[in-house]
Structure 1
Amino acid sequence: MGVEPIGIVTLLVGVICLLRGSGPTVIAFSIFPVFGGAAALLFGSTGIQPGHLFLGFLLISALLLHGNPSSVVDRAFQSPPFVWLVLLVVYGVLVGYFAPRLLQDTMTIVPLGPQAGAGSGGTIPLGPVSGNFTQAVYLFADLVTFSLILAIASTPRSFRHVAIGLLCFGAANVFFGIVDLISPGTPLVDLLSYIRNASYTFHADELVAGMRRIIGSWPEASAFAGASMAVVGYCGTLWICGRHNKVSGLLFVASCILIVRSTSSGGIAGLPVCLAILYATSLFRCGGSTGTRASLAVVLAFPIAALLFVFVLVLSRDLYQQVYDFMDVTILSKPTSLSALERGSWNASGLSNFFDSYGLGVGLGTVRTSSFAVALLSNVGVPGTIFFLLFLLTGVLLPRGTARTYEADVGLAARNGCLCLIVGALISGSTVDLGLIFFIMAGLRSAVPRGVRMSPATPA
């Protein structure tokens, strides 16, 4: 076992936060998932990310030092989304163990992770793979994260701590994106190597349309864009609702710019969907005595700005050609690229595995895909997909809180953050695991009681 420099930093921050209290601990935990390309601890070729390592400190804080284990358990089991998530994890673990053995050699798969003996197209006969264990661990960590955030955020003070922690995650993601943008030819390249030490293939020097792709603290541009889309949904909604509006507005704009600059096809294709979600939110949030100026401005100005942009493109042939060339390279010509053809073959293989397994799935962590929807169907089948959809419905989609209070607005922001992250995953997600940041936002959303006000509205 080896402890990396980022691991030492994680351990030091964890100890300091435990001494400072539950607030700093949950805020720090919300930030650490930004290190998606880092390994805090290394066990051979397997690494533990800083976010998962810091989850241990959150457990100690919530169960031993600053909380009550019985209250955490009671709060979790009283929550319907927790039950559905437990069923997803249990089914995923069971099918991940039995399906590759019972159906061994009956079909070929594109395995998740490096696998010796892969044939043409990267396929191997179905059988147990390392991803069955690692994805089970990740999904269990997601369950623990959701249950802890759900319990911690059940008090107004801690609810605000989680909300601020997610803002800090957005700030950290923007910071590393900007650092990556300006790093070539500077000592910053060496500093970034300390948070890009996991056993992934990093795509830090790829060029698209003559521009170097931005990956921030993540392994590739699509992962950076996916995290940034979650920030767009969360911070954009906070700005629309007038909550923490100076910080949230800045992070929203910066994240939108960085998504486009990252040249990630999934990010550029998904960003308009995220903006449409925010526009729909503005329609419901504007008007009345508690309507915000930002929501009204979005409702009125967005259509005008869109028409003005189209008008400028029509008048300026040079600008139109530049925009068209950029969109052609990143989106329009993407389906014919080698990477798109490869990812398309992953999805085709995954759908074939879904039908060949009679809709039950070939096991959690068995198959690599290029869409979250296909990952669900191929890995955990119809039962697992139903469990996830019920978790999403009861924990994220159903209305919560008294409308236009601080809790309801932050919960709405967490909901939109989850939806925007799913948009990115549907385009390019390769696994069932949506990451810790998704379940932090889902836990925060689920912590808002349905139709009940936690406390008087907190001033922004």
Structure 2
Amino acid sequence: MGIELMGLITILVGCVILAAPATWAFTIMVVSTVFGAAAAIGLPALGGPTVLVPSLFLVFFAIRVLMAAGEGPLLVSMQPGRAGFWLLLLTAFGLLSALYFPRLFEGMTDTMTVERVSSTRSTIALTPLRFSSNNITQTVYALGGLVCFAAVFAYFRHAGKPEHLIKAILLLAAVDLGFAVIDVVTYFTGTEYLLSFVRTANYALLTASEKGGLKRISGTFPEASAFSEYTLVLFAVMASLWLDRVRTRDTGILSLALLVALLLSTSATALIGVGVVVPYLWTRAVLGTMRGSTGEGRPVFIAACVAIIPLAILTTFVVFPGLVDQLGDFLDEMLLSKAESQSGKERFMWNAMAYEAFLNTNGLGAGLGSARASSYILVLLSNLGIAGTALFGLFVFSILIGRSQPTSRDEDVTGATIRAAKTGLIGLLTAACISGTVYDLGLMFYILAGSVAALAGERVSVERPFPVTGSFNGFPGIRDGRQ
């Protein structure tokens, strides 16, 4: 086992937050998710996979929440009838499938899996189904997602406020944009090595590519597509908060900056995701205006989408006619010719083999971590079959239908936070359905889902179901009621 520099920093910060206010732990947990290519610990014994910074810090965050709130709120998050219950069943089913399905269906179908060529290099290859280290790593990620969901739920039920999520996402968006700028600057100045400390994961790093004459922004992620999928979520959250007039100046500026970053990332996933999120927000704005809502209406936003934006585009094309051909070639390269590219053909084969694995296992799936695809729907079907896909659908549906109850004067902020988190989830799931390759959706998915589950609906008692020994009472700030 090898510990990277970012791993040492994470452990140090994690030890500090155990004695710091729980709010600090939550904020750092949210911000840590931006380090999508930063390895904390290497595991050569398992074939060379790495533990990322967010996953390592999750351990400290969960411990800090347990110290502050006890085990009661964590268990409440997974009670029958709650969204967390479906996630618990999904994770348990995934664990069992990873242990037994690859052995049960061994050799009966072929799947696309990651093959470790060496401790520093891996490749995706078509191999007969068998149990592998991928089943272990994806199971660990699934368990981490469940822990993250429960810990975030417990945090908000114990002492968290909607403003805490808003402030954390604002900081996260600024950090993400900051690294995006650094990525572009270091690329054109030949100083990319300055970002090497956040690009240590055992992934194929495609951080120096161009498309259409533009540098494909990757930031702290292994490639531009991963950056765009992550930034799309932040854009969706920021734009939703701006639509609800929450910290309008900050959310407005960051929304615009994130949108520019998405467009400059030259990612097809980003363009399609924006094409889903913006119409969704526009529809929300129209419905808000029809209801006479002062928060969600934003008549200027509606007018800009309907009239000003098309007029500005038309005027630009008239003044600069050469841009039409350039833009056409650019979009053709990104979207229309994507399926004919080598990457597009490979992704199509991944999906074909994933669907074949689903059929060859009689709809049960090959087991969590056994197959890769280029669409999250096919990832679920090929790995977890019909049952796992249904459980995931029930979990997402339970989160998206959650609504806040008008129980206090803070309802406007609470409702806006819930809507923003849901919009972020819609953006994340859109990107995943387009290009998701593995079961793990990242900890940001579970942070947003846990926040919605905790903030939506009636507040219930979170008393401990059984007494605690008090072994944590030696730490400062860990008794109930203290941060």
Aligning the two structures, in what range does the TM-score lie when normalised by the shorter sequence? over 0.9
On the 8 A contact 1:396/1:446 being kept in 2, the answer is no
Give the structure 2 partner of residue 296 of structure 1.
299
On the 8 A contact 1:92/1:363 being kept in 2, the answer is yes
Q: Distance in 2 between matches of 1:113 and 1:196?
A: 20
1:311 CA drift (Å): 2.3
Give the structure 1 partner of residue 14 of structure 2.
14
**Structure 1 pair 151/121, CA: closer, same or farther in 2 (3 Å)?**
closer
1:208 CA drift (Å): 1.0
Q: What amino acid maps onto 1:427 in structure 2?
A: I
Give the structure 1 partner of residue 70 of structure 2.
68
Q: Distance in 2 between matches of 1:320 and 1:105?
A: 52
Note the alpha carbon deviations across 1:139-177, whole angstroms, 9 max, x for none: 110000001111111256444323322222222211111
* Pair 1:338 & 2:342 matched: yes
* Pair 1:225 & 2:228 matched: yes
**Structure 1 pair 418/107, CA: closer, same or farther in 2 (3 Å)?**
same
* Pair 1:90 & 2:92 matched: yes
* Pair 1:350 & 2:357 matched: no
**Structure 1 pair 341/401, CA: closer, same or farther in 2 (3 Å)?**
farther
Give the structure 1 partner of residue 447 of structure 2.
440
Note the alpha carbon deviations across 1:181-234, whole angstroms, 9 max, x for none: 111254852221000001101001112112221111001111000001101111
On the 8 A contact 2:162/2:413 being kept in 1, the answer is no
Q: What amino acid maps onto 1:355 in structure 2?
A: L
Give the structure 1 partner of residue 250 of structure 2.
247
Give the structure 2 partner of residue 24 of structure 1.
24
1:322 CA drift (Å): 2.0
Q: Distance in 1 between matches of 2:228 and 2:395?
A: 25
The secondary structure found in structure 2 opposite 1:123 is strand
**TM-score of the superposed pair, with normalisation by structure 1:** 0.92
Moved more, 308-317 or 8-17: 308-317
Note the alpha carbon deviations across 1:33-54, whole angstroms, 9 max, x for none: 1101010112222211111111
Note the alpha carbon deviations across 1:327-352, whole angstroms, 9 max, x for none: 11111111110000001100011011
Identity, % of aligned positions: 29
Give the structure 2 partner of residue 457 of structure 1.
none
Q: Distance in 1 between matches of 2:18 and 2:285?
A: 39
1:77 CA drift (Å): 2.1
Q: Distance in 2 between matches of 1:165 and 1:431?
A: 27
The secondary structure found in structure 1 opposite 2:225 is helix
Give the structure 2 partner of residue 317 of structure 1.
321
Q: Distance in 1 between matches of 2:293 and 2:125?
A: 56
Q: Distance in 1 between matches of 2:460 and 2:380?
A: 35
Moved more, 89-98 or 223-232: 89-98
Q: Distance in 2 between matches of 1:281 and 1:155?
A: 31
Note the alpha carbon deviations across 1:223-254, whole angstroms, 9 max, x for none: 00000110111111001101122222222111
On the 8 A contact 1:34/1:217 being kept in 2, the answer is yes
Q: What amino acid maps onto 2:33 in structure 1?
A: P
Q: Distance in 2 between matches of 1:139 and 1:442?
A: 14
**Structure 1 pair 331/163, CA: closer, same or farther in 2 (3 Å)?**
same
Q: Distance in 2 between matches of 1:294 and 1:177?
A: 32
Displaced runs of 4+ in structure 1, greater than 6 A?
451-454
Q: Distance in 1 between matches of 2:236 and 2:178?
A: 18
Give the structure 1 partner of residue 467 of structure 2.
none
1:405 CA drift (Å): 1.3
- What are structure 2's unaligned runs of at least 5 residues? 462-483
Q: Distance in 2 between matches of 1:385 and 1:75?
A: 21
On the 8 A contact 2:403/2:456 being kept in 1, the answer is no
Note the alpha carbon deviations across 1:407-454, whole angstroms, 9 max, x for none: 111000000000101111111110111110011011111112326799
**Structure 1 pair 154/187, CA: closer, same or farther in 2 (3 Å)?**
farther
Q: What amino acid maps onto 1:16 in structure 2?
A: V
Query: Cα RMSD over matched residues?
Result: 2.3
Give the structure 1 partner of residue 332 of structure 2.
328
1:63 CA drift (Å): 0.9
Give the structure 1 partner of residue 211 of structure 2.
208
Give the structure 2 partner of residue 449 of structure 1.
456
Q: Distance in 2 between matches of 1:25 and 1:234?
A: 21
